[in-house]
Amino acid sequence: MQAIHFRGAYRYDSHAALERALAAARIQLGDEDELDPIPPRSFVRSGTSLIVDVLVPNAVEIRFVAANVLQELAREAIEGAVEACHGADQVDYFASGDDD
């Protein structure tokens, strides 16, 4: 079973906006033990930007939680996007400002 690779970056209006997005994303994680193995370097802050480079197993439950996390991160972003790829195929896309 191949992993899903989420990669891209978001830029936020301010450090406070970035912190709000991260807090909202953490709420989506809740008690999901399946996502605990994600290394801290998978989400890297640089000023008001967040760089995302995450590999998650291709299991429905984990993909669903990861998608919810990315939607929260995208919602408050003013620029950027993260794509989800399964091998060479793009399977999802999370553009800044997305409310879906």
Q: Is 100 a member of any domain?
A: no
Q: How many folded domains does the chain comprise? A: 1
Q: Is 30 a member of any domain?
A: yes
Q: Give CA–CA dist 58/44, Å, rounded.
A: 23
| Residue 91 domain boundaries | 3-95
Q: Is 19 a member of any domain?
A: yes
Q: Is 72 a member of any domain?
A: yes
pLDDT at 91: 92
Show the tokens assigned to 63. 């993909």
- pLDDT (tens place) for every residue of the chain, 100 residues total: 589 999 999 999 999 999 999 998 888 777 555 555 455 568 899 999 999 998 888 888 888 888 888 999 999 999 999 999 998 999 999 999 866 5
Task: State the CATH number of the domain containing residue 17.
Answer: 3.30.1360
For the entire predicted model, the pTM comes to 0.86
pLDDT at 33: 53
